[in-house]
C-alpha cells in the first residue's frame, strides 16, 4: 500500500470545523466539505518528506530526537515506536524546564535510580511504613513523568510534537535553545510554531500512528547510515595504516649501487692497487 493511500485511509486529511480554524493554516487547506476543512494531502506529504530528511541527518550525526505527545490519542503510538528505535519521549506531562533546566531533570532521574535500587534490593522495607509509602509514591511520580527521557543524556537534535496547541511549553523551550521542531498540525494550530509543519489530523489515532511510524523509520535509516559511515571510516583508517606499514624501509646498504665497487676497508687492497704494486 502506498503511503498516500495509507494516510488518506487513516483520515489524516480531515481537519477541524470551519468555525474552529486558524487562518494561518489557509495555505494547507484544500477545500471545505460539510463545514469541515479538508487538508491538502500534497502539503502533508511534503512536510513528512522534509521531516524524514531532517531526522535522518540528525540521527546520522549521533543526536537524539525527542517525541512529545501528551494527548491520549498519541501516547500509545509514541511509546511503541520510540521504544523500538530507542528514542526519548514524553507522553504524560511536559515538566517546565525539561530542556532549559536539563541539569535538574538529570538529578531527578538519578533520584529515580536510587529509589529503584532501594526497591529492588529490599532495603526500602527497613524504613517505617509511612516513609516506605512516601518513597514509593515519589518513585511512581518520577517514573511516570520522566521514564521516557531517562536515556537522554544530552539535549536532543530535534523535537517531534503532536498538537502544537497542547505542547506550546515544549515548543517554546525548543525555540529558546535553537532545537528544530517537527509538528503534526491540525487546521486549528499555528504553523509558525514549527520549523517543519506536517499538516494533518492530530486527533485521529490512526493518522498519528502512521506519522510517528514514518518518522521513526527515518530514525532507523539515520542510525544505519551512521553505522555505515563509522565502518567505512574504520576500514579507511586500517587501509591507510596498512599502506604506511607495507612500504619497505630502504637499507643503508642500498644507497650504494651494485655496479660501484665498495670502498676498501683498512688493511685491504683493491685488485688495481695490487697490480700497480706488482708492476
pLDDT, average across residues 9-16: 91
What is this structure's pTM? 0.80
| Between 86 and 240, the higher pLDDT residue | 86
Residues 148 and 165 in one domain: no
pLDDT tens-digit series, residues 154-207: 999 999 999 999 999 999 999 999 999 999 999 999 999 999 999 999 999 999
Whether 85 has a pLDDT exceeding 80, the answer reads yes
Residue with cell 670502498: 263
Map residue 56 onto helix, strand or coil.
helix
Residue 5 grid cell: 493511500
Residues 166 and 181 in one domain: yes
State how far the Cα of 270 lies from the Cα of 48, in Å rounded to an integer: 88
Sheet harboring 29-33: ordered strands across?
Answer: 14-17, 36-39, 29-33
Whether 269 has a pLDDT exceeding 50, the answer reads no
Is the Cβ–Cβ distance between 56 and 226 less than 8 Å?
no
Domain span holding position 192: 3-96+155-224
The sign of the dihedral angle between the CA atoms of 82, 86, 92, 93 is: negative
Q: What is the CATH number of the domain that holds 26?
A: 3.40.50.10490
Domain boundary among 224, 247, 273: 224
Model confidence at 222, in pLDDT bands (50, 70, 90)? very high
Residues 35 and 108 in one domain: no
Q: Is residue 60 included in any domain, yes or no?
A: yes
Nearest to 78 by CA among 184, 187, 185: 184
Residue 13 grid cell: 486529511
Domain boundary among 224, 243, 270: 224
* 212: region left, alpha or beta (phi > 0 left; psi from -120 to 50 alpha): alpha
Residues 38 and 120 in one domain: no
| Between 262 and 86, the higher pLDDT residue | 86
Element (H, E) at 174: helix 168-176
Residues 53 and 171 in one domain: yes
Is the Cβ–Cβ distance between 162 and 74 less than 8 Å?
yes
Whether 33 has a pLDDT exceeding 80, the answer reads yes
pLDDT of residue 180: 96
pLDDT of residue 274: 44
Name the phi and psi angles at 67, rounded to 5.
-105, 135
Q: Measured in whole angstroms, how far is the alpha carbon of residue 218 from the centre of its chain?
A: 9
State how far the Cα of 151 lies from the Cα of 174, in Å rounded to an integer: 18
pLDDT tens-digit series, residues 37-69: 999 999 999 999 999 999 999 999 999 999 999
Q: Is residue 275 included in any domain, yes or no?
A: no
Amino acid at each position: 500500500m502506498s503511503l498516500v493511500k495509507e494516510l488518506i485511509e487513516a483520515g489524516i486529511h480531515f481537519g477541524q470545523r470551519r468555525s474552529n480554524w486558524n487562518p494561518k493554516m489557509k495555505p494547507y487547506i484544500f477545500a471545505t466539505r460539510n463545514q469541515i476543512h479538508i487538508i491538502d494531502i500534497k502539503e502533508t506529504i511534503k512536510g513528512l518528506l522534509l521531516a524524514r530528511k531532517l531526522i535522518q541527518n540528525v540521527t546520522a550525526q549521533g543526536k537524539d530526537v525527542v517525541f512529545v505527545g501528551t494527548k491520549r490519542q498519541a501516547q500509545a503510538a509514541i511509546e511503541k515506536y520510540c521504544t523500538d528505535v530507542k528514542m526519548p519521549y514524553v507522553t504524560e506531562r511536559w515538566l517546565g524546564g525539561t530542556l532549559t533546566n536539563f541539569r535538574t531533570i538529570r538529578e531527578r532521574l538519578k533520584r529515580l535510580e536510587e529509589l529503584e535500587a532501594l526497591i529492588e534490593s529490599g532495603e526500602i522495607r527497613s524504613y517505617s511504613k509511612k516513609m516506605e509509602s512516601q518513597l514509593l509514591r515519589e518513585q511512581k511520580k518520577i517514573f511516570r513523568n520522566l521514564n521516557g527521557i531517562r536515556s537522554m543524556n544530552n539535549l536532543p537534535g530535534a523535537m517531534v510534537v503532536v498538537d502544537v496547541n497542547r505542547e506550546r511549553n515544549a515548543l517554546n523551550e525548543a525555540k529558546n535553545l535553537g532545537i528544530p521542531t517537527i509538528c503534526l498540525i491540525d487546521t486549528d494550530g499555528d504553523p509558525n510554531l514549527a520549523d517543519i509543519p506536517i499538516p494533518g489530523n492530530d486527533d485521529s489515532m490512526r493518522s498519528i500512528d502512521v506519522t510517528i511510524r514514518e518518522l521513526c523509520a527515518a530514525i532507523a535509516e539515520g542510525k544505519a547510515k551512521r553505522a555505515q559511515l563509522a565502518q567505512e571510516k574504520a576500514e579507511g583508517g586500517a587501509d591507510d595504516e596498512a599502506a604506511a606499514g607495507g612500504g619497505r624501509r630502504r637499507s643503508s646498504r642500498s644507497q650504494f649501487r651494485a655496479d660501484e665497487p665498495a670502498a676498501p676497508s683498512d688493511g685491504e687492497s683493491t685488485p688495481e692497487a695490487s697490480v700497480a704494486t706488482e708492476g
